[in-house]
Amino acid sequence: MLPSLPPLRSARRPCTPTPAFQAGLPVVPYPPGGSADIPPRTIGQKLGERLGQTVVVENKAGAGTAIGAKAVASAAPDGYTLLLGTVSSQAINPAMTKVGYDALKDFVAVSPVAAIPFVLVAHPSLPAANVGDVLAMARANPGKVGYASAGPGTSNHLAGELMASSAKVQLMHVPYKGSAPALNDVLGGHVPLMFDLLATALPNVQSGKLKALAVTSRQRTPLLPNVPTARESGLQDYEVTAWFGVFAPAGTPAPVVARLNADLTAVLQAPDMQKRLRELGAEPESGPAEAYGRYVRDEADKWGAVVRKAGLTP
């Protein structure tokens, strides 16, 4: 039988904070309102109903997710302080710089939550109808076909590095201080390409302001059913998603992890929750904690290799 958890302290009544509940459930290592902030707030209420307690989401942004992740890594392993971890906090950033925690040793994976694919979008003026055309242009003009990103080491930057490595071509990375200014310059035709998250790419593709060349997920998305995957476009084994999952500090008792996994799985498999997440451009995911832990280790190996091959530094 799965254990019950004692009630979490509610933010609605005064209490003296203790180290066991210094951050809430879960900690989001991003500012409020972003794509990484939506899934936990969408899921939190339903999870709280199953746990019989208030679920408090706290944003601890900064240092490229390191501040929030480090806070959870050093928290008491009692099931109260969890991390809404992402591909950045658990796989990419630790490969690029000293983040103050070990993404694999300091956490135990609890459950996947969702994954948002990227869309390789192009300004309509670019004479390319598909990924093959882009790669042909890159081979003819090494290092001159540019793609915008939210900054060095971000997921949409490394999506381009992985494509270049997989296809053995040279692309020109054009970094910005965030996705919004990068997307604005692609819309303005100043940079021809960008790997943009499905949620923000969709309205620009539907309006004709950008054209979608490929999605980076393993399978096509029902939101853009006529757009092929990068794999279908000739890039074998290519897959890039902005994935989210729940992690607990290392040492959290196995029965607590099992209880949280079971409740998160039930919440994520509910039809209304799946519908809501898909409306946000995310594909709901669930599964055993052990399997998710293996997936995260594989992702850490994959992105570590990309970072090393590209010679990226902070």
Tell me what pLDDT residue 6 has. Answer: 44
The lowest-confidence range among 26-30, 179-183, 284-288, 294-298 is: 26-30
Distance of CA 241 to the CA centre of its chain: 6
**Domain residue extents for the chain:** 19-116+241-310, 117-215
Q: Do domains 19-116+241-310 and 117-215 have the same CATH topology?
A: yes
Q: 239 pairs with which residues across the strands?
A: none
**Rg for the chain, CA atoms, rounded:** 20
pTM comes to 0.86
The pLDDT of residue 266 is 95
Alpha-carbon span 266 to 32, nearest angstrom: 26
228-278 tens-digit pLDDT: 999 999 998 899 999 999 999 999 999 999 999 999 999 999 999 999 888
Q: What is the four-CA torsion angle of 25, 29, 32, 34, rounded to 10 degrees?
A: -120
Homologous superfamily of 117-215: Periplasmic binding protein-like II (3.40.190.10)
The arrangement of secondary structure in 19-116+241-310, i.e. its CATH architecture, is 3-Layer(aba) Sandwich (3.40)
Averaged pLDDT for residues 80-109: 94
